[in-house]
Structure 1
Amino acid sequence: MVVIYSVGVPFNYSGLGNTAYHAALGLYREGILTHILTPDFRECEIPKEKFSTFPLRKITSKGHARIRNYTIKDNLFDLWASRKIQDFGKINVFYGWSHHSLISMRIAHKKGAITFIDRQSAEIRFQREIMGREFKKVGVSVDFISSRNIKKTVSEANETDFVVVPSTFVRNTFIDVGYPEEKILLNPLGVDLERFVPKNDGFEDDIFRVIFMGILSVQKGVHYLIRAWKKLDIPKAELLLVGGFDRLSREVILNEAKNGKNVIFGGGTATPEREFMRSNIFAFPSNQDGFGSVVLEAMACGLPVIVSQNTGAKDCVRDGLEGFVIPTADVDALCDRINYFYKNRDKVEEMGRRAREQALKYDWESYRKRLAGSVAHIVTCGLSEK
């Protein structure tokens, strides 16, 4: 069996690169991974000889520099991957990522492959619609996703045999625009349960601390969170915003934070677990988030969570048990739930314990086994039919 795994971001690094690592590792341990195509990789259990790399750099007067434009990077990688795939004979499986894979997937199809496209965000037309509406609300005129990217991503989803998604939220955005349920494979993400653990001792201060972690953006609903915080105006409390700014959202968020008491911009961090351990609750009111791994990380650290309906990780949260699931873009609901935790500290501890217990169900090993098992089963059935 020939299984090609292709991802247009550095493999075994943060973000999508980390998810790709766990997916490919599952295929490798299943004994069905043949080769990985990626711009770069960090050494891991998978042998080096299984990798081919295409560093995405441009030549400048000062030497080589990284290509910053995501569309150009994705298309260059896809073109390179398609040429590498030409070197293989018959292929049984092509597993690629949304935005990175249209040309290479088509070549793999011609070679007889069953194809999978991994989509970690909502169906792209839904994503553009909701974010266009949200940017309009804050007075930002921007083409959030270009028509060219829409066309390519829709073509990938239309032409692939299966779309792999991380949440019921994402799955439903595909089904709502007409994709058959059997084409959409659901596989929720995991969390590193050894790294993200509850704190053993008490807090270093008596500040009630609400934490958000992620890209500070309109897409993540950070401006709504700040608005709710200013409306609450609670004493001996702090809103900690950890992460870098999205370019399109920076001015919106900084303007929203003006005159807000105890709104702390913490910047990025290489040790998110430390920030969780000094916080009481985690709030993630995203307008559109395919999953939101940071929600599981917070839960694994024993924090109750507040998430929006449009956050995929709501699948892991039982409303009223590990935290709350609230309507998207609802400032009053955010106020109500934050205030509930502020006034009921015993519930913070109780729900936090349940959050950790719930997170234990979402380890990365389970994610790897589900994905590898699904791919192997589909391919076996497909081969037997032939």
Structure 2
Amino acid sequence: MNVTQICIGRFHHFHLARQLEKHGLLNRIYTGYPHFKLRDEVGIPRDKIRSFPWLHTPYMFRSRIGLGNFAMLNKWWYWAAHDSLDRFVASLLHAPGVLVSLSSTGLHAGTKIQRLGGVYICDRGSSHISYQDELLREEHARWGIPFAGIDKKIIHKEQLEYQQADAITVPSEFVRQSFVRQGISANKLYKVPYGARLERFSRTQHPPENRFRILWVGAVTIRKGFMYLLKAFQRFSHPNKELLVIGNISAEVKSLLNGESLEHVRFMGQVANASLPDIYSSSHVFVLSSIEEGLAMVQGEAMACGCPVIATQHTGAEDLITNGIEGFIVPIRSTEDILARIQQLADEPHLRNQLGENALEKVKSLGGWDQYGGQYIQVIKSLTID
């Protein structure tokens, strides 16, 4: 049994590739990333990483070459990068095996490997694409921000992939339920939660006692629900409060920030990964108020540094934390619930400390990417037993 992977970028697929290689199962991983962006991907032989960068790489750098604001061009470009990678891999498949492909890059290759007698697994990192599109349309409308929607060609292709695949792997219960609500059989769905790079993230210090620091790590976008946290922070009562924001701000959110009070908010942009353990460790709470995502790995990073998490039900948090034990799980779009939990942690330092300790213990028990790899390999074996 050999496993071929397709992933337009990196995401969690290179973690999976390392696990497959460790168990002698990896045939090759195909990606749209150029080789120079993959130099830090250790544990995978170089000859097993095949780059197909001709469309995706220039797409990644489109803003730098002055093409970032052409909506129709970028929509076509995004589609073409995904579909051409899929067709390229399909042209190279000549023997049965297992194909694990990130959604929107596997229809042609997956169908080909099935014709050869193999197995096609569609791996989806976010909620069902139709449900995702619905949520994002609703959210943009709430803020009065125009939204063209997810490309209909991408939606159609992913729906065909869901039907064609022998199995669909998802990272969280939130994502699994989104598929069930869209009519996909639960028997076709396999939940395999992501791991965390425990060797990279650990507690390096403790939060300062003379202030209360709230941390945000990730893109500052409509999808991530940043404005709900900001409005909760504005009402949060503390004599020395701070909201530390790490990540790039989208144009849509920038327009919403006009006229908002940003006192005690520090926008730091991108920071080096090596700095993140210190930042997580020195924060009193990490907040992720996303409207939609599969399983945000930043939650595990924060936990590994002893930082409690407040996250919405649409972040995969329920597969990482127990509400009230390692942090809190709140409904989406609820400024009130975010505010209440932040205030509770500030007013009850002993509770905050206990949640931080619990988070440390919980993330250790999750087993990092080794456990993820083990579970994924079990899924593969269950689909390939004669």
**Residue pair 1:75, 1:100 contacting (<8 A) in 2 also:** no
* Superimposed CA distance per residue, residues 86-115 of structure 1 (whole angstroms, 9 cap, x where no aligned partner): 333222211100122222222222222210
Which of the numbers 219, 222, 237 marks the counterpart of 1:218?
222
Tell me which residue corresponds to 2:258.
255
Structure 2 residue matching 1:96: 3-state secondary structure: strand
Q: What SS class does the counterpart of residue 36 from structure 1 fall into?
A: strand
**CA, structure 1 residues 375+247, in 2 after alignment: closer, same or farther (shift >3 Å)?**
farther
CA distance in 2, matches of 1:194, 1:132: 38
Q: Which amino acid aligns with 1:375?
A: I
Task: Give the corresponding residue for 1:265.
Answer: 267
1: CA distance, partners of 2:108 / 2:207:
53
Q: Structure 1 stretch 369-378 or stretch 330-339: which is displaced more?
A: 369-378
Displacement of 1:204:
5.0
The more displaced of 166-175 and 112-121 is 112-121
From 226, 244, 247, the equivalent of 1:243 is 247
TM-score, normalising length: structure 2: 0.89
* Cα distance, 1:70 vs structure 2: 6.7
Say if 2:8 is the partner of 1:22. no
Q: CA deviation at 1:136?
A: 0.4
Matching residue within 268, 281, 288 for 2:285: 281
Structure 2 residue matching 1:371: 3-state secondary structure: helix
**Partner amino acid, structure 2, of 1:28:** E
Identity rate, percent: 27
Contact 2:93 2:113 in 1 (8 A): no
State how far apart, in whole Å, the 1-side matches of 2:156 and 2:51 are.
27
Give the length in aligned residue pairs.
Answer: 368
* Cα distance, 1:51 vs structure 2: 2.7
Q: What's the CA shift string for 1:64-87, capped at 9, x where partnerless?
A: 979973762453354344344333
User: Post-superposition shift, 1:304?
Assistant: 1.0
TM-score (norm. length: structure 1): 0.89
Residue pair 2:90, 2:110 contacting (<8 A) in 1 also? no
1:105·1:160 contact (CA, 8 Å) conserved in 2?
yes
Among 101, 106, 115, the alignment partner of 2:111 is 106
After superposition, what is the alpha-carbon deviation per residue over 1:23-46, rounded to whole angstroms, capped at 9, x for unaligned? 112222222221221233435222
* 1:298 corresponds to 2:302: yes
Aligned partner letter, 1:372: I
Residue 71 of structure 2 is matched in structure 1 by none
Q: Which residue of 2 aligns with 1:353?
A: 357
Deviations 1:215-273 (A, max 9, x none): 10111111000011112243211111111123433322x237x2232122121111222
Task: State which of 132, 137, 141 in structure 2 corresponds to 1:132.
Answer: 137
Partner AA of 1:266 in structure 2: M
Question: RMSD value over aligned CA atoms?
Answer: 2.3
Q: Report deviation, 1:276.
A: 0.9
| Contiguous gaps of at least 5 residues in structure 1 | none
Match of residue 45, structure 1, among 20, 43, 46: 43
Larger displacement relative to structure 2 (143-152 or 158-167)? 143-152
- Asked if structure 2 preserves the Cα contact closer than 8 Å seen for 1:212 and 1:283, the reply is yes
Conserved? CA contact 1:56–1:66, under 8 Å: no
Distance 1:328 1:284 in 2: 10
Residues 115 and 141 (structure 1 numbering): CA distance in 2 closer, same or farther, change over 3 Å? same
* Alignment deviations for residues 148-197 of structure 1 (CA, whole Å, 9 cap, x no partner): 22111111112111111100000000011111111111110111122211
1:161-176 equivalences under 5 Å are 161-176=166-181
Deviation at 1:52, TM superposition (A): 2.2
Question: Is structure 2 residue 316 aligned with structure 1 residue 318?
Answer: no
Aligned ranges for residues 80-229 of structure 1 at < 5 Å?
Answer: 80-200=85-205, 202-204=206-208, 206-229=210-233
1:216 maps to amino acid: V
